[in-house]
Structure 1
Amino acid sequence: MHLYITYFLALFIGLALGLTGGGGSILTVPVLVYVAKIEPVIATAYSLFIVGFTSLVGAGSYVKKGLVNIRMSFIFAVPAFITVWLMRKFVIHAMPDVLFNLGGFVLTKDLFLMLFFALIMLISGFKMVYGEAKDNSLVGNETNYPLVLLSGITVGILSGLVGAGGGFLIVPALVFFMYLPMNKAVGTSLLVIAINSLIGFTGDWLNIPQIDWNFLLIFSLIASIGVFLGVYINRFVDNQKLKKVFGYFVFIMAIVIVIEELVL
């Protein structure tokens, strides 16, 4: 039964991604861990594939509208996907099962990953609720390559740790450091997320004994259907209000994760 619930929630994740233009993928890891009962390290790896697959589908709709800057996406993606690949290949699976034991409190690798993920959810939710999208693009300004490099590495570290896309960091970086207009920044961000996540996932191949490709492909396909539904429904709703409502939901989910990990 929990497998069918997982697939239903995959549709919801895709729907949220299509409706809000990003952020829906932040729910992938909690669904995989608490509903599908997959251990956190493997869940973050699976999330990279799912997020990459669905983001690629979403980016396709923006490409058709001419709202993706292919050149800028690859410039940003290179430092990001190198970092996320290194994180997945050499760091995550090399971390000890117990990070430290202090006064009876044991911080395991799984606990650290879930608490860090909850922190990322809180930041992402805050951006959705309180962050106003401002188009700060200035025609003629040169790309700030040092800050693009730093942003890409930061996104790669976060994506490598928690298996999330990091769109809440990528979109501002594309606007402020690469001077893309907001409508192109969102579409370009989806392509960056797709590249980072799918390449990052390859870093897990040799470290995970058996990847459940059947589950991954079904989940990703259902989520992709949700993306198409979300993009269609988005024409008839207030995007900003919807994003704030979803942001509050992400807040609540982050608190639930903390309670689940530290109290229950």
Structure 2
Amino acid sequence: MIALTLTAAVLVGVTLGLFGGGGSILTVPVLVYLAGVPARQAIAMSLFVVAVTSAVSAIGHARAGRIRWRTGLIFGAAGMAGAYGGGLIGPYLPEVLLMASFAAMMLATAVAMIRDHRTPRVTPAHREAPILHVIAEGVGVGLVTGLVGAGGGFLVVPALVLLGGLPMGVAVGTSLVVIAMKSLAGLAGYLHSVTIDWSLALPVAAAAVIGGLVGGSFAGRIDADRLRKAFGWFVLAMGVFVLVQQSPPALLHSAWTAAGAALAALAATVALALRRRRRSIAGNHPSRSNAYTPGGIESWSKS
């Protein structure tokens, strides 16, 4: 399982370096379902992995001039405050609630990745973002990051485009700085009450860093829309899987029963519609309707 876990970590890093977000949402499921790490420890470990991967991936973007430092540092500082608070609260929440919230986050991430990414109208690209808006957005996204251990890049990138007028490539690079800062703050909050297995966290982080460097090397060179959508569908499937895993057995049984009943009703409706269609076709067939034509009447009267 460790080899599969490390392979999945490379995929997380690639998507994080390429898209500036999205891949980190898979870190917790990878650790929980592949490595067998308990949910709270998995969230704390995910924050460490995402922080390291984002920081290393940001280096390539910085060299290419795709980071707006002032906006990123202000957003990141606000995000750190929210993430630290989330990291303090998260360990005391039920694991089922944490994982269900994480599944909801995955579904939201998937929708954001699947939908068309048309660059919205913004003011000139070099205008700095309104400080109060950036701070408010940063605290909110940071709180989510601290609670569920996801980087929230799918929230950060649009915010940087809309609030700061950053081009998409610059927003991706800047988001990595923000994600690294708030993930570290969330980790600090979790470490007050959660212990991390560093013998697993360090190899996973190293694998994700390798993937992040690969993804960062392709950023700005390829049209990633199709890849983003395909990955979004994968995240959607994973989100549904995680959500189903957290459902109580009785509720899950009821859901399957309801689904079976719905499918049976649908099958009966389709069968009835097909039967009516066959009758309609048969009623309009020439061999059945010739008694109503002049020739048909004549033939009928002769008989």
Give the TM-score, by structure 2 length.
0.76
Matches within 5 A, 1:100-179: 109-139=94-124, 143-179=129-165
Equivalence for 2:184? 198
Higher RCO structure (Cα 8 Å, ≥6 apart): 1
Give, in angstroms, the shift of residue 149 of structure 1: 2.0
Equivalence for 2:230? 245
Give 3-state SS (helix, strand or coil) of 1:255's partner: helix
Question: In terms of mean alpha carbon deviation, does 28-37 or 220-229 score higher?
Answer: 220-229
Give, in angstroms, the shift of residue 214 of structure 1: 2.3
Query: What is the rounded CA distance, in whole Å, between the counterparts of 1:224 and 1:141 in structure 2?
Result: 32
Give, in angstroms, the shift of residue 154 of structure 1: 1.2
**Bigger Rg, structure 1 or 2:** 2
Query: What does the per-residue CA deviation read over 1:36-82, in whole Å, with 9 as the maximum and x for residues that have no partner?
Result: 11111111111111011111111111000011011111111112101
Contact 1:137 1:181 in 2 (8 A): no
Query: What does the per-residue CA deviation read over 1:196-237, in whole Å, with 9 as the maximum and x for residues that have no partner?
Result: 1012211222312x3222211111011111122233456775
Query: What is the rounded CA distance, in whole Å, between the counterparts of 2:199 and 2:179 in structure 1?
Result: 23
Question: Unmatched 5+ residue regions in structure 1?
Answer: 96-108
Query: What is the rounded CA distance, in whole Å, between the counterparts of 1:203 and 1:221 in structure 2?
Result: 23
Contact 1:23 1:124 in 2 (8 A): yes
Give, in angstroms, the shift of residue 131 of structure 1: 3.9
Give, in angstroms, the shift of residue 132 of structure 1: 1.3
Contact 2:60 2:217 in 1 (8 A): no
Letter in 1 for 2:150: A
Contact 2:84 2:185 in 1 (8 A): yes
Equivalence for 2:53? 54
Pairs aligned (count): 248
Letter in 2 for 1:202: A
Equivalence for 1:31? 30
Distance 1:133 1:167, change over 3 A: farther
Query: What is the rounded CA distance, in whole Å, between the counterparts of 1:79 and 1:21 in structure 2?
Result: 18
Contact 1:76 1:192 in 2 (8 A): yes
Letter in 2 for 1:41: R
Contact 2:142 2:182 in 1 (8 A): yes
- What CA RMSD, in Å, does the superposition of the two structures yield over aligned residues? 2.0
Equivalence for 1:92? 90
Give 3-state SS (helix, strand or coil) of 1:146's partner: helix
Q: Does 1:82 align with 2:67?
A: no
Distance 1:183 1:15, change over 3 A: closer
Equivalence for 2:4? 5
Equivalence for 2:260? none
Equivalence for 1:100? none
Letter in 2 for 1:138: T
Give, in angstroms, the shift of residue 183 of structure 1: 1.8
Letter in 2 for 1:93: P
Q: Does 1:256 align with 2:241?
A: yes
Give, in angstroms, the shift of residue 141 of structure 1: 5.1
Distance 1:142 1:116, change over 3 A: same
Letter in 2 for 1:253: M
Question: In terms of mean alpha carbon deviation, does 122-131 or 133-142 score higher?
Answer: 133-142
* Percent of pairs with identical residues: 38
Contact 2:47 2:186 in 1 (8 A): yes
